[in-house]
Structure 1
């Protein structure tokens, strides 16, 4: 049930980001212990079961949830998210949680930059300025031309671009399909894509890692459940800024669990990217409020 309890929505979003950050830590460990495609595949099996249960509850039947007039868009969305998750987990392995999330935080700005050519939305000079500032933040993190530059930094940047496209396709799909239908296609198509890749990478795991993988699957379902409840409790514009807390929580796990370092250039880049992202969200809120008054 949709309500307007901003404080409750805020705390639900905080819980969501904490759960997703825990997932990142589990994904990094398991991907290093085994391999990324297999981990994502098993994770998606549980996710598909979860979305089908939600779909049946909200729409009455799986057939009703699957009904759409734009199947190609829905298939592209689901496939893109599954591939993005694989790419991002690979980034965790090669670059670590701190720097991967620092670069990935660019995705809201990429959504703003691509919303014009993809959705035909107007992007004003203020949002373009925010996008430019965020890009400068990424350059500070990457340090191109310096000895510290790592080509692996391109991996989370690719993941951010893929997730931005996924976000734009969400907006496009929402013009004709409701959330339950899109959520159903996200889980089921993603499971098919992840299985088509992961089945070729199957390998045995220790009992301890199987237990961690079970935790990963459970937290995945819990994270999406809390996220759904958060958006039911409050408006998206009010709680979306708290999504940046995943960067904070994931970085803390990277530093204190995996012994990663928070370099000064990364910290400066994070400040610029998050600041630019929050400014862009602020402009979006003002724009939305102006439309409601018209």
Structure 2
């Protein structure tokens, strides 16, 4: 028993490090995607990213979850989740063409608040008044950033918010998947379904890939796969309350990449709005954990796997 307690902090530290590294990788993934949008459509970027990443995703799933990770009991559910992911990713990639990377990233972080709304309104889950306050605070933060009716308002600013809504549905759609399937199965089929569905449409707007851009496509696949893998593993090594708040460090990375690559600078209202969203989000995570909820979801970008069910869900497949 003492040995287990001694190992716990070590596992938590590893989880923290993996989460920070994973968020950095996914932020790099987003930055490369923004760079590629100058020459390619969001759909083509998504397609090539998935096609390149799929073999590595399969290898990782087999190593981490065994051969059973490749078997699905509800393939249609994965196909539907893939459609949601394609839609969300295309909207986000489109938004970063016109918006600062940090601004689009900040708006994405309202996904947990959409989860609360959907859970309460459509899934019949009880939501206490404090969580409703957090939801209102989160949306107030969104209004501060996009400033509807103001001179600086852009309709394109609604795209990351719409992306967050679709991501929220994607996260909750993990309930459609058979409980016998591990998170690695979700990872493989999400990537595979994304590749398949985007392949059906991408020929309509295909642009020949320049040889000088091949390393960027390889980079987006590498950083995206590595980020999802590390964040997934982080949730398995440490409690959600420990690692989930670190997802918000993605905003710092987005700000840094935007400044270094495109000289983007955030105005004070965007910084204030982002601070409100992050504060209310972290408060929601901490409150969920204190109440013993094992289904707090904070993975988005991101998307991607977005599944932090309790360890029992894995059925000992690790």
Residue 106 of structure 1 and its aligned partner are, at CA, apart by 0.8
Report what 1:43 is aligned to: 49
Number of residue pairs matched?
288
- Residue number among 67, 72, 78 corresponding to 1:67 in the alignment: 72
How far the C-alpha of 1:225 sits from its partner, in A, is 2.5
CA distance in 2, matches of 1:225, 1:10: 14
Instruction: Assess if the C-alpha contact under 8 Å between 1:91 and 1:155 holds in 2.
Output: yes
Any idea what SS the aligned residue of 1:203 has? coil
Report the TM-score when normalising by structure 1: 0.90
The SS at the match of 1:204 is coil
Q: Does the Cα contact within 8 Å between 1:140 and 1:269 map onto a contact in 2?
A: yes
Are residues 1:99 and 2:120 paired? no
SS in 1 for 2:156: helix
Q: Hey, what does 1:154 align to over in structure 2?
A: 158
How do 1:214-229 and structure 2 match up within 5 A? 214-229=218-233
Residue 210 (1) aligns with residue 185 (2): no
- Indicate the structure whose relative CO is greater, using CA pairs within 8 Å and at least 6 residues apart: 1
Q: How many angstroms apart in 2 are the aligned matches of 1:254 and 1:74?
A: 33
Separation of aligned partners in 1, 2:45 and 2:136? 36
Report the aligned-residue RMSD: 2.2
- Shift of the alpha carbon at 1:244? 0.7
Distance 1:55 1:102, change over 3 A: closer
Residues 176 and 124 from structure 1, CA distance in 2 versus in 1: closer, same or farther, beyond 3 angstroms?
Answer: farther
Task: Say if 1:45 and 1:191, in contact at 8 Å, map to a contact too.
Answer: yes
Contact 1:255 1:262 in 2 (8 A): no
1:242 aligned residue (246, 250, 272): 246
Greater displacement, 24-33 / 3-12:
3-12
Q: Which residue of 2 aligns with 1:14?
A: 20
Do residues 288 (structure 1) and 292 (structure 2) align?
A: yes
TM-score (norm 2): 0.84
1:49-87 CA-to-partner distances (Å, cap 9, x unmatched) read 22322343455437x63331x333322112211221111
Residue 278 of structure 1 deviates from its aligned partner by 0.7
Task: Tell me by how many angstroms 1:223 deviates.
Answer: 1.4
The 1-side partners of 2:216 and 2:111 are apart by 29
Give the Cα separation in 1 of the matches to 2:178 and 2:126: 18
Residue 115 of structure 1 corresponds to 119
The alpha-carbon distance between structure 1 residues 283 and 172, as it changes in their structure 2 partners (threshold 3 A), is farther
Partner of residue 266 from structure 1, selected from 270, 287, 295: 270
**What is the distance in 2 between the residues matched to 1:127 and 1:40?**
34
Equivalent of residue 261 in structure 2, options 257, 260, 263: 257
Shift of 1:220: 1.8
Q: Tell me if the contact between 2:65 and 2:182 (Cα under 8 Å) persists in the aligned partners.
A: no
Query: Greater helix share, 1 or 2?
Result: 1
Matched, 1:56 2:62: yes
Deviation >4 Å, runs of 4+: 289-292
User: Matched residues in 1 for 2:122 and 2:63: separation?
Assistant: 33
CA contact (8 A) 1:44 1:194 kept: no
CA 266–222 in structure 1, closer or farther in 2 if over 3 Å, else same: same
- Of stretches 224-233 and 151-160 in structure 1, the one that deviates more from structure 2 is 224-233
